Structure formats: structure tokens, C-alpha cells
Amino acid sequence: MKIALFSDVHANLPAFEAFLAAIDRQQVDAIYCLGDLIGYNIWPNEVINELRSRGIAAIRGNHDLKNSGYAYELVSEQNRLFLATLPAHLRLEYQLNNDHLTIVMAHGSTRSVNEYVLEDLEESYVLDMMKEAKADILCVGHSHKPYHRIIKDGDNFRHIINTGSVGKPKDGNRKACYVLLTLYEDSSSMHPDTVRVEFIRIPYDIDKAVNGIKGSPLPDDLAERLLNAN
């Protein structure tokens, strides 16, 4: 089972189109969006319409809840209603190799859409949160900084995955980022190497994204952040 996970497109249509083209080549089995389709660029409706036309399951991010300011006022009424009805979390449960694996998806964290689950967050805190959510694999976005962390929990191992950002990376790499999560017949919480996590980086037409910002009432520093990936 090949699962594509992505988040934080932030209305960057050129990056989103490059991501979709990459996904089409990968021939994945499932695709999930972890929120923040809008904000920071001028194509929120085009991004949402493409996501909806493909039937991609999504959860809402903190920006998807906003409705004031130029970047958010661009969103059509129909798409506002769509964003407002997105779920806060998604849960997938697998029975593999006589083991039960649960994947939980959240934008910030399972506790708050605005919480940052950073790579260096205290292990005990993360473990408590994952137990509370009954998650063997916790997938989040929000920070725009990709990582895969494994925490030992007794005889088991729990995985935390941050998908990075398709449309506004903040890890110093301009390229769009998404995760390819692969589960196998023998995938088990007792054997961490039976869960495969790949971070895929994709070049896109960043000049088009930058010029979209500079030709709009959005502040030019948003274009500089795209160029600097910060």
C-alpha cells in the first residue's frame, strides 16, 4: 500500500500542479491532504477545485479556517463552505501480519490545529499524545519542516511523520515536499523498518509563484520567503 501524504499547499498552484504530476507518475494507492490549502498566494480556488475534482480526502488546517485578509477573501463562497466542513482528523486502521496499525492524521496535532509537533519536541509529551490518540503512526503538517521520528514504546515503536510543505517550504529547500508512506504485508508496530517513509522533493515553476504574489496586493516579503524557503 503506497500512500501519498501532503500538506500546506497555501494556494501555490504551480507547486501543486508539479506535485500532482509526480503523484500520477508514482501510481499511489491513496492520497491524503493534511490541510492548509489556502493563504499566502493567489490561487486558492484553483487548488481547491483541483483537489475536489480528484476526490482527494483532506482535513482542515489553521489557514483553512480563516476568512479575513486579502489571501482569504479570494476564496469563493462555495469553497469556503467546503473548507468549513472538512474534518479535523483522519484515522486509518490496518490489520497486517496479525498486528493492528493505526494511522492518525492531523494538521497541527491531535490536540490543536495550531500546535507545532516539532522534531525535537519532548519524547514523553509526544508519546502521551500518541497514546491518547491511539496512533501507531502520527502524520502532521503545519511547521513546513519534514521529518520522520521513531519513538520506542515498550516492545513497540511509534512513528511521527511531518509531511513538510508543497507550497511554502521552510527547511531551506525551495522544492515542493511530500511523503510517500509504504505499508507491507509484514508491517508491524514491533518492527520499525517494516514501515517505509520517503520524502519526495519536486522542482516547480517558482518564478510563476513569486510573480503571482508580486503582482497582487499580497506583501512582497511572501515572495522572498518562497525564494529563501524560510
CATH number of domain containing 23 = 3.60.21.10
Please state, in angstroms and rounded to a whole number, the distance separating the CA atoms of residues 164 and 177. Answer: 6
pLDDT band at 162 (very low <50, low <70, confident <90, very high): very high
192 burial level (CB within 10 Å; 0-12, 13-18, 19+): middle
Render 60-85 in DSSP notation, one character per residue.
--TGGG---SHHHHTS-HHHHHHHHT
- Rounded to whole angstroms, the Cα distance separating 59 from 162 reads 15
Range of the domain at 81: 2-228
Residue 170 has pLDDT above 90, yes or no: yes
Specify the number of domains making up the chain. 1
Which cell goes with 85? 466542513
- 53 grid coordinates: 475534482
Three-class SS state of 146: coil
Split at pLDDT 50, 70, 90, the class of 12 is very high
Residue 69: HSE in the Cβ half-sphere, 13 Å Cα cutoff: 14
Find the helix or strand (DSSP H, E) in which 59 lies: none
Spatial separation of the C-alpha atoms in residues 37 and 64, rounded to whole Å: 7
Radius of gyration of the chain (CA): 17
Cβ contacts of 77 within 8 Å, gap of 6 or more: none
Q: What is the mean pLDDT of residues 182-211?
A: 96
pLDDT of residue 145: 98
Instruction: Give the mean model confidence (pLDDT) for residues 134-145.
Output: 98
Q: What is the pLDDT of residues 213-225, one digit of tens each?
A: 998 999 999 999 9
Three cell numbers written together for 70: 486579502
Reported confidence tier of residue 70, pLDDT bands at 50, 70, 90: confident
Split at pLDDT 50, 70, 90, the class of 179 is: very high
User: Can you give the pLDDT at residue 215?
Assistant: 86
Is residue 69 over pLDDT 90?
no
Q: How far is CA 93 from the centre of its chain?
A: 19
pLDDT in tens, 85-115: 999 999 999 998 778 999 999 999 999 999 9
- In one-letter notation, the amino acid at residue 105 is M
Of 84, 152, 164, 89, the closest CA to residue 119 belongs to 164
